[in-house]
Amino acid sequence: MKYLPIDNSLFIKNRQRFAAKLKPGSIALLNSNDVMPTNADGTRSFVQNTDIFYLSGVDQEASVLVIFPDAGEEKHKEILFVKETNEEISTWEGPKHSKEEATATSGIETIYWTTEFEKVFRSIVFEADRIYLNSNEHLRADVTVETRDIRFLKWCQKSYPLHKYERLAPIMHHLRAVKSPMEVELIKQACAMTEKTFRRLLGFIRPDIWEFEIEAEIYHEFLSNRSRGPAYAPIIASGPNACVLHYVQNSRQCKDGDLLLMDFGAEYANYASDLTRTVPVNGMFTPRQKAVYNAVLRVQKAAIQMLKPGNTFEAYNKDVGTIMEKELIGLGLLDAKAIKNQDPDDPLYKKYFMHGASHHLGLDVHDFGNKYRKFEKGMVFTCEPGIYIKEEGIGIRLENDILLTPKGPVDLMGNIPIEADEIENLMNK
């Protein structure tokens, strides 16, 4: 891995918290992701399943984690299966984890090769009454491609039909929503890389540059700082593209007078950062662009102060919407009288601000968390209001990553330039 070793106490503590959530007499199992194929004999770069990483730190394909707190033998309370290497694999792909390395990474003493899984699992599964299995239950998940976890689920239910089965995902959603201090430090490292990259871009952006050239600079800076690359596909959207929320083609030439919306964030040790900044391609906002920009910035500053323990997504988004309404009235985009008569389930501001103001951030850029759960200390949220005026070719979004603490929100991207005057000054050095 490109990133530096992580203290395995992080994963040991995560497993302890996870095991405490299991019902008595339960065994839980998690699989790594597959190596995804392309065409012919091609494959994509491997990206680990974030649940098994959270509980083991193992960042290798064909890995299986078994957690069985009530196992009869102490050595079977935690078991990690990893891919056994051989001379051919070593020659073509490089080394895989040895058993000793797997223990050092995860803190798990009992290590078997993945080829031994069925034999070992059968020897212990009949001690358990329940089997917890994993699935992707993110509300926005695309589950078209069958995962290793789902293939295992089908095999396990067929092989052991008389066990009681439980959903593992709700436990992971609950645990992963609150970040430990070690996790926060890893997110901070990702944010620091993102800051370096944004400052680099401010001296690089100019009229007639292509969006993909800016994207290339992002990859260069991330990879130079031990990142695997972006935590998600970068959005480099100039001119009218800035009004397309998930624009990722990054193929347009940036023109003098355009705004450029950049939504990108570094990954570090599988942890994500998530930044959005909107800058003038020529280094100077027009008066109208600056007015809209400052309106978005005022909404963001107010919204950040609402990210505190005890709040809820429903109340938070409603309050952010009320602030946005006032700003849109000030910009001449909404009428105050019309707002008084609007459908509360379809507020008028949604024409110009159609997405949510925040989401959980962690191992996944849209990390797990129950939308009905009250905000708690240790949660990390994005804060990303935006105004999109298609008829004017103006799309502005500003996004920072915020840690919730008992003393108030901590902006993990507070050092990244955001004031309009500062952006202009840095671009015109």
Which tens digit of pLDDT belongs to each residue from 15-41? Answer: 999 999 999 999 999 999 999 999 999
Please give the Cα distance from 353 to 385 (Å, whole number).
Answer: 7
Could you say which of 126, 141, 176 is where a domain stops?
176
Residue 115 and residue 209 in one domain: no
CATH number at residue 339: 3.90.230.10
Domain count, the chain: 2
Closest CA to 402 of 388, 416, 420, 423: 416
**Residue 363 is encoded by which pair of tokens?**
């191992």
pLDDT at residue 139 in the model? 86
Residue 172 and residue 188 in one domain: no
Residue located via tokens 């000054």: 425
pLDDT at residue 270 in the model? 98
User: Higher model confidence: residue 352 or residue 344?
Assistant: 352
Share of the chain above pLDDT 90, in %: 94
Q: Which domain holds residue 119?
A: 9-176
pLDDT at residue 94 in the model? 83
Q: What is the 3-state secondary structure (H, E, C) of 291-326?
A: HHHHHHHHHHHHHHHHCCCCCCHHHHHHHHHHHHHH
pTM more than 0.95: yes
Please give the Cα distance from 86 to 333 (Å, whole number).
Answer: 65
222 secondary structure, DSSP code: H
Residue 207 and residue 143 in one domain: no
What mean pLDDT is predicted for residues 413-429?
97
Residue 151 and residue 286 in one domain: no
Q: State the virtual CA torsion across 212, 214, 219, 224 in degrees, nearest 10.
A: 150
Q: For residue 80, tell me if it sits in a domain.
A: yes
**DSSP state letters, 124-142:** HHTT-SEEEE-----TT--
Please give the Cα distance from 393 to 243 (Å, whole number).
Answer: 7
Could you say which of 157, 176, 195 is where a domain stops?
176
Q: For residue 213, tell me if it sits in a domain.
A: yes
Say if strands 26-31 and 64-67 run parallel, antiparallel, or are unpaired.
Answer: antiparallel
> Is the separation of the CB atoms in 419 and 400 below 8 Å?
no
- Lowest mean pLDDT across 36-45, 234-243, 313-322: 36-45
